[in-house]
Structure 1
Amino acid sequence: MKKTNDALKIIKRMMKEDPELQEMVRESSINAQVSQIIYDARKEAGLTQQQLADLVGTTQSVIARLEDANYEGHCLSILARIAGALNPKVEIKMSPKEVA
């Protein structure tokens, strides 16, 4: 195997050899995407975390956790409540895995 100093190549190589690491990265990526979607929707609506929390019937701290990319407790029911408050629709789909 050819040596490299390219961090992305090293990470890809490590992930290719470690299914557990692949799963961790996949889960982290999903959490970050969901957090960003919630944040973007709230900002687009011109709301503070407290205002969104009031609309959804929760607390500001819950909204803050949902917008944290490291939070692992996202669930469809809270996404549906946020969508109901902000009027977008939630779409979920499964796509083929990307081949590295």
Structure 2
Amino acid sequence: VELEASDELWELLKSMMRAAPALRIGISLVDTHPVVVRARRAMERMRAQWGPVFGASPLGAVPEGFLDEILGRGKRNRDVIIVDDEEEEDGMEDDWDMDLGA
């Protein structure tokens, strides 16, 4: 994956690799990060379609547009990009959408 292609993923990786442990992002924020949430949703769809073992594993085949979906680049449909921004079911913002500044 070219990190320049996904600012969102690059920022997540940088926040996880800070030299000072106190400045690193916590696991609860990693778990709710949009890239991780999209990856989990995509893997759950694959598991439902192809079964719980190989089809939903990193070693299984993935459908066209899988990586674009996870990286938030939208889906391509005849040169039209379809953005899939699902709202949270409870209507609340997740931590990544909120201003968590001091």
Same fold (TM over 0.5): no
TM-score when normalising by structure 1: 0.35
Structure (1/2) with the larger strand percentage: 2
Structure (1/2) with the larger helix percentage: 1
Q: Which structure has the larger Rg?
A: 1
